[in-house]
């Protein structure tokens, strides 16, 4: 029998202040004695080397281990090494740029009892300063772009509580039975600090097991604090394509449809999830009501447009800027950038105006390129071959608007 129920494995490289904060939050909000904590130190050159061991032992006693390496062996090998040192039924891989919250652990463990087919589970990850969603599960757009589902929506939004089967969850905070981790082949060590989690998730699904995001468990995530985090993007994408060809498919449109939204493609095929509301339902909304409705439902695209138009009529340029910047975090459209350029001109913000013009030039060049049409035809062909009526509907609307 394993000695512990859970081993928390934290791979680190420098950033001692983040690691110390992570460890202190674990100590404060994980009062159980059946939790082991292992920090795998990938050759840090800052205070981590000297300070990690003493602080860890102070907080966790004999349940703590600081595995000190002389060189950086990268995320996947570091996690695998931590798993080798673990003596627990479950492994919880956790980035050091995180802060756990009260009662974060029990819902994750309960998930494996509630869903016997669950192969791995992750918590809801939130941005610490805004309580907005950083990670509710991985989703793929119609162009097979990997992104986070419902990114930046408020943590109080109804979509948070929906139960979903996911193609992947992030390795930034991932709970998995040690036995399943071994059967799935562990983290593939050819990757260089990226895509290891996607590969592992595919191997878990290949075992016939499911992936869940457990929103009752909440952890704050500062996101991608390690320097050079995306330096090997091309290499990692090549490895993933070779190992997991055909393992992932577009699903953002399906999640959107199931939750009562529409998925719309911009002329450059950027995917936006949109809440559509009838004119009769929203007729007569003034500025205050529109702002309140947008805050409650940030995916109501028309609401932003109506509010901005009211601000324009009253020459409230600074207020319009605030709304447009929020809108831009959910909707990547030429109209938003055009409106931002108008506001920048009125406010005399030369830097913002130049950025808007550069963005517009790029969007228009991309929309006019043959590559966009080639990608669209590939999307449409996949939807036809998959008998995916939801995506075919998205394609028909794009074709009508953009061709």
Contact call for residues 343 and 324 (beta carbons, < 8 A): yes
In which residue are the tokens 């992570």 written?
22
The pLDDT of residue 110: 98
**At 70, phi and psi to the nearest 5?**
-80, -20
Burial of 381 (0-12, 13-18, 19+ CB in 10 A): exposed
Paired sense of beta strands 138-140 and 146-148, if any: antiparallel
How far apart (Å, rounded) are the C-alpha atoms in residues 279 and 269?
27
The single-letter DSSP state of residue 177 is E
Nearest to 250 by CA among 367, 375, 365: 375
The pLDDT of residue 183: 98
Q: Which two tokens stand for residue 82?
A: 């931590």
The pLDDT of residue 229: 61
Would you kindly state where each structural domain of the chain is located, as residue ranges? 4-249, 255-273+369-402, 284-368
Domain spanning 284-368 has what CATH number? 1.25.40.10
The pLDDT of residue 225: 57
Angle formed by the axes of helices 370-385 and 350-368, to 10°?
A: 60
Transcribe 98-118 into DSSP letters. EEE-TT-HHHHHHHHHH-TTE
210-240 core/surface letters (b: 16 or more CB in 10 A; e: else)? bbbbbbebbbbbbbeebeeeeebeeebeebb
Task: Give the fold, CATH level 3, of 4-249.
Answer: Spore Coat Polysaccharide Biosynthesis Protein SpsA; Chain A (3.90.550)
**At 361, phi and psi to the nearest 5?**
-60, -45
For residue 33, what are the CA distances in angstroms to 6, 7, 23, 84, 226?
10, 11, 15, 20, 30
Cβ-Cβ contacts under 8 Å for 93 (sequence gap 6 or more)? 9, 11, 79, 82, 171, 173, 174, 176
Instruction: Give the predicted TM-score (pTM) of the model.
Output: 0.95
132-153 core/surface letters (b: 16 or more CB in 10 A; e: else)? bbbbbbbbbbbbeeeebbbbeb
220: helix, strand or coil: strand
pLDDT, one tens digit for every residue, the chain (403 residues): 899 999 999 999 999 999 999 999 999 999 999 999 999 999 999 999 999 999 999 999 999 999 999 999 999 999 999 999 999 999 999 999 999 999 999 999 999 999 999 999 999 999 998 899 999 999 999 999 999 999 999 999 999 999 999 999 999 999 999 999 999 999 999 999 999 999 999 999 999 999 999 999 999 999 765 555 668 899 999 999 999 999 999 999 999 999 999 999 999 999 999 999 999 999 999 999 999 999 999 999 999 999 999 999 999 999 999 999 999 999 989 999 999 999 999 999 999 999 999 999 999 999 999 999 999 999 999 999 999 999 999 999 999 999 8
How far apart (Å, rounded) are the C-alpha atoms in residues 12 and 120?
22
For residue 32, what are the CA distances in angstroms to 9, 37, 64, 125?
16, 12, 13, 22
Nearest to 12 by CA among 3, 21, 1: 21
Q: Which two tokens stand for residue 147?
A: 């992104």
Per DSSP, helices labelled H in 61-195 are 75-85, 105-114, 178-183
21: helix, strand or coil: helix
Contact call for residues 177 and 90 (beta carbons, < 8 A): yes
């Amino acid at each position: 029998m394993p000695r512990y129920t859970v081993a928390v494995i934290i791979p680190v490289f420098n950033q001692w202040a983040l690691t110390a904060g992570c460890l202190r939050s674990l100590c404060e909000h994980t009062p159980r004695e059946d939790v082991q904590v292992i920090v795998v130190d990938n050759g840090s050159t800052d205070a981590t080397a000297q300070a990690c061991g003493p602080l860890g032992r102070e907080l966790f006693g004999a349940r703590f281990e600081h595995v000190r390496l002389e060189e950086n062996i990268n995320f996947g090998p570091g996690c695998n090494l931590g798993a080798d040192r673990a003596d627990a039924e479950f492994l919880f891989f956790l980035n050091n740029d995180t802060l756990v919250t009260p009662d974060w652990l029990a819902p994750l463990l309960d998930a494996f009892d509630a869903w016997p087919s669950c192969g791995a589970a992750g918590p809801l990850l939130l941005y610490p300063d805004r309580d907005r969603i950083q990670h509710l599960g991985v989703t793929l757009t119609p162009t097979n772009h990997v992104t986070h589902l419902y990114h930046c929506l408020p943590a109080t939004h109804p979509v948070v509580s929906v139960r979903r089967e996911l193609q992947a969850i992030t390795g930034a905070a991932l709970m998995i039975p040690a036995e399943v981790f071994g059967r799935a082949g562990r983290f593939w060590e050819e990757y260089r600090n990226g895509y290891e989690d996607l590969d592992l998730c595919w191997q878990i699904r290949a075992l016939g097991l499911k992936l869940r995001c457990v929103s009752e468990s909440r952890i704050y995530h500062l996101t991608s604090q390690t320097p050079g985090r995306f330096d090997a993007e091309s290499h990692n994408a090549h490895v993933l394509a070779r190992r997991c060809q055909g393992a992932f498919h577009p699903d953002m449109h399906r999640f959107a449809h199931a939750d009562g939204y529409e998925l719309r493609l911009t002329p450059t095929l950027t995917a936006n999830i949109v809440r559509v509301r009838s004119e009769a339902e929203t007729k007569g909304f003034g500025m205050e009501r529109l702002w309140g409705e947008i805050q409650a439902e940030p995916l109501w695209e028309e609401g932003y447009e109506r509010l901005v138009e009211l601000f324009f009529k009253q020459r409230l340029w600074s207020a319009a800027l605030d709304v447009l910047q929020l809108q831009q975090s959910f909707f990547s459209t030429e109209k938003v950038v055009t409106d931002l350029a108008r506001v920048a001109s009125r406010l005399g913000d030369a830097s913002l105006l130049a950025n808007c013009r550069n963005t517009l030039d790029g969007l228009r060049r991309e929309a006019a390129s043959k590559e966009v049409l080639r990608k669209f035809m590939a999307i449409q062909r996949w939807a036809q071959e998959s008998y995916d009526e939801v995506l075919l509907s998205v394609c028909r609307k794009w074709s009508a608007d953009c061709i």
